[in-house]
Amino acid sequence: MKRFKILRFSSLPSTQEFAGKLLEKGEQSWTVVWAEEQWAGRGRGGRKFFSPRGGLYFSLLLFERNLDSSSLLYLSSWVVAKELEKISGVKPEIKWPNDILLEGKKLAGILLEKKKENWFILGVGINLNSTVKDFPSYLQDKIITLHEYTGKIFDLESVLFSLIEELWKGLKLLKEEGFLYILHKWRTYSIPIGKRIIFHWKGGIQEGYYWGVGEEGEVYLRTLEGRVISFTSGDLNLIF
């Protein structure tokens, strides 16, 4: 069992920002910052991540040599999806690169930041025991909570402990088996090939079909005209 340290707070502006300050002060690897709510939670691209009470929000400090951000992001999203399936009996989907979906709606998000050499801060936010009404009205048709979907109440501490343990085991697997092993596991949770999407990147917008992920972690899109193109960064949005 991996030893880790948990710092629990009733409320924080952002677990990610707090973890960053701890890192600057020399905090150890495998320190977890857990808040019961965030009032300035941060998602990918600087977007706000709403974090009402009832959800699970934490940031993990990691020191790992010879590990790239892409590998860690794929590993983390696979571990979170696998854990959510284990506790609920419902299989979620991963939308490249960092969102966990259920019924096409956002259930969880992952934020990974590379800090100084060999240091990462991994942020995870999951809608566990919250309700859709806890979120702003303009988000209520875009998110889902595991409690409302299953009718169950989840033990946040148990889920957190299990997630950290699974991340540790996953890192061990990544080092022993390599990225392609993790990618294969990740693909079993991916949104279906052929799903209609719109892809936003710095060069513009492209509509088409999700066409999977390559061995370097790049995402493929098949255009409406039939061309297959790849992207290494950007935002993928589903079309319903």
Beta bridge partners of 208: 197, 223
227: pLDDT strictly greater than 60: yes
2: pLDDT strictly greater than 70: no
The residues, any chain, with a CB within 8 Å of residue 207's CB and separated by 6 or more, are 196, 197, 198, 199, 223, 224, 239
Q: Indicate whether 226 and 182 sit together in one domain.
A: no
CATH number for the domain that contains residue 166: 3.30.930.10
What is the percent of the chain where pLDDT is above 90? Answer: 87
pLDDT (average), residues 71-78: 96
Q: Indicate whether 125 and 211 sit together in one domain.
A: no
CA separation for the pair 132, 197 (Å, rounded): 24
Q: Indicate whether 180 and 227 sit together in one domain.
A: no
Locate 120 and state its tokens. Answer: 């990462």
Q: How would residue 181 be classed by pLDDT, with cut points 50, 70 and 90?
A: very high
Residue showing tokens 């088409």: 208
pTM of the shown model: 0.94
Residue 114 CB neighbour total at 10 angstroms: 13
The more confidently predicted of residues 201 and 41 is 201
Residue 157 CB neighbour total at 10 angstroms: 12
Given the DSSP bridges, would you call strands 196-201 and 99-102 parallel, antiparallel or unpaired?
A: unpaired
Contact 197, 188 (CB under 8 A): no
Supply the mean pLDDT for the chain: 94
Structurally, how many domains does the chain consist of? 2
Instruction: Out of 144, 169, 187, pick the residue that ends a domain.
Output: 187
193: pLDDT strictly greater than 60: yes
Q: Indicate whether 68 and 116 sit together in one domain.
A: yes
pLDDT (average), residues 134-143: 92
pLDDT tens digits along 26-60: 999 999 999 999 987 777 766 788 888 999 999 99
Q: Indicate whether 173 and 204 sit together in one domain.
A: no
Question: Which of 171-180, 192-201, 231-240 has the least mean pLDDT?
Answer: 231-240
Q: How would residue 116 be classed by pLDDT, with cut points 50, 70 and 90?
A: confident
CA separation for the pair 20, 209 (Å, rounded): 37
ω into residue 92 within 30 of 0, thus cis?
A: no
CATH number for the domain that contains residue 233: 2.30.30.100
- Structural domain for 118, as ranges: 5-187
Q: Indicate whether 175 and 203 sit together in one domain.
A: no
The more confidently predicted of residues 219 and 39 is 219
Phi, psi of 24 (to 5 degrees): -65, -30
Q: What is residue 59's predicted lDDT score, i.e. its pLDDT? A: 97
pLDDT (average), residues 138-162: 96
92: pLDDT strictly greater than 80: yes
pLDDT (average), residues 200-226: 94
The DSSP output letter for 227 is -
Counting other chains too, the contacts that 33-37 makes at CB distance below 8 Å and 24 or more residues apart are 33/7, 33/9, 33/58, 33/59, 33/60, 33/61, 34/6, 34/7, 34/8, 34/9, 34/58, 34/160, 35/8, 35/9, 35/10, 35/11, 36/8, 36/9, 36/10, 36/11, 36/156, 37/10, 37/11, 37/12
Q: Indicate whether 150 and 210 sit together in one domain.
A: no
Q: Indicate whether 228 and 118 sit together in one domain.
A: no
CA separation for the pair 189, 213 (Å, rounded): 12
